[in-house]
Homo-oligomer: A and B are copies of this chain.
Amino acid sequence: MNIYDVSKRAGVSIATVSRVLNGNPNVSEKTRSKVHSVMDELGYTPNVFARGLGLGTMKTIGIMCSDSSDPYLANAIYYLEQQLRSNGYDSLLCCTGPSLENKRTYFELLLSKRVDAVILAGSKFVELIDKDNMYLIDAAKELPIMLVNGFLDAPGIYSTVCNDYEAMYHVACRLIESGKKHILYLYTSHSYSGLNKVEGYKNALSDHDIPVRREYIHQCAKSLTDSRKLMEELADSGLCFDAVMTSDDSLAVGAVKFACSRNISVPEELAIVGYNNSLLSYCTNPEISSVDTKVSQLCTTTVDTLMSVFAGGSVPSKTVIAADFIQKQTTNF
């Protein structure tokens, strides 16, 4: 069952069938509908390979994410996939895991599959983006690259990011203004957004004449237990803190666990702020106040931007989405 069968049955040439298939306007209405009805009748589906061969593209976008089991990224993938599909694109998914080598390999793999663009979802592609940035910059000469929550200023690379700096600055200010003096800051990575977040925290402190002290800023693995352990160690070492801001909800869950186990009242003795407002932040008791980074908007915007790029429009290399602070039970201001 191929284009020839359709053309024969419809009494037209294969070129005409192909034109109908591609919505070419140079086909009379009569012929078009005839061909359509024959296609329906025969249940014809064009062969994507032949089509890809001819067109050099297959309307497929590669999505790379470090770990789809992270609730935040899982959500992102969901929205990206939906939005791509509603624009007529498929998504080829790659979960790379943490290794840089894998990321490279999978990136190459996507290229070799002739995807029309690559979306790097999440901030876990720092090395790809930074240390070795000619890599992506070179690749971007061949096809558009979209960064979700990452930023690299180069032609062909487009970023959609959250206003992490402002969000964190704002939260820190409100914590301080509500009387908190010793705010712990826990983060998972030195990504683009990670750096902005901590900058927001630091500046809020400075702007309120609070010294930024290194003992209050700690990196921590993205897990429910590590942040808890870390806080226990810090508390045991005599560090005083009355609030903790985190770069990810999972760390905040650990903070809640820490508070529970030590009978520390939340938010009175310890305020806790999460980030991403993921499902996790709703599971704990008390529920974690968190920054909603608008994944859905972030992803929708990313895809919209990509479509504009395809359409040849002039497109800003960076789009910023405004986050929302969602007050729940671990803060009160």
A residues engaging B (CB < 8 A)?
Answer: 45-53, 56, 58, 60, 63, 67-71, 73-75, 77-78, 81-82, 85, 90-95, 97, 106, 109, 111-114, 224, 253, 256-257, 260, 279-280, 282-285
Contact = CB atoms under 8 A, between A and B. Distances in A.
A112 B69 contact: no
Contact of A74 (B69, B81, B94): B69
Interchain residue pairs A-B with the least CB separation, the first 8: A74-B74, A49-B52, A283-B283, A49-B53, A93-B93, A69-B75, A69-B78, A45-B112
A93 B74 contact: no
A45 B67 CA distance: 27
Q: Please indicate which of the listed interface residues A53, A68, A109, A285 has the most CB atoms of chain B within 10 Å of its own CB.
A: A68
B53 A279 contact: no
Given A49-B52, A257-B285, A285-B260, A93 B81 contact: yes
B224 A283 contact: yes
B90 A113 contact: yes
A18 to B, nearest CB: 15
Contacts of A56: 49
Contacts of A81: 68, 93-95
A138 to B, nearest CB: 12
Among A49, A51, A60, A63, the one with the most B-chain Cβ atoms within 10 Å of its Cβ is A49
A97 to B, nearest CB: 8
A94 B71 CA distance: 17
A92 B91 contact: yes
B45 A49 contact: no
A279 B71 contact: yes
Contacts of A67: 78
A67 B67 CA distance: 16
Given A58-B49, A71-B74, A283-B253, A92 B95 contact: no
B71 A69 contact: yes
* Interface-centre pick from A48, A93, A95, A256 (highest chain B CB count, 10 A): A93
Given A49-B58, A69-B71, A114-B47, A91 B90 contact: no
A60 B73 CA distance: 23
Nearest to A54: B49
A45 B51 CA distance: 19
Contacts of A283: 224, 253, 280, 283-284
A77 B82 contact: no
Chain B CB count within 10 A is highest, among A67, A82, A90, A94, for: A90
A230 to B, nearest CB: 17
Contacts of A94: 81, 85
A77 B74 CA distance: 9
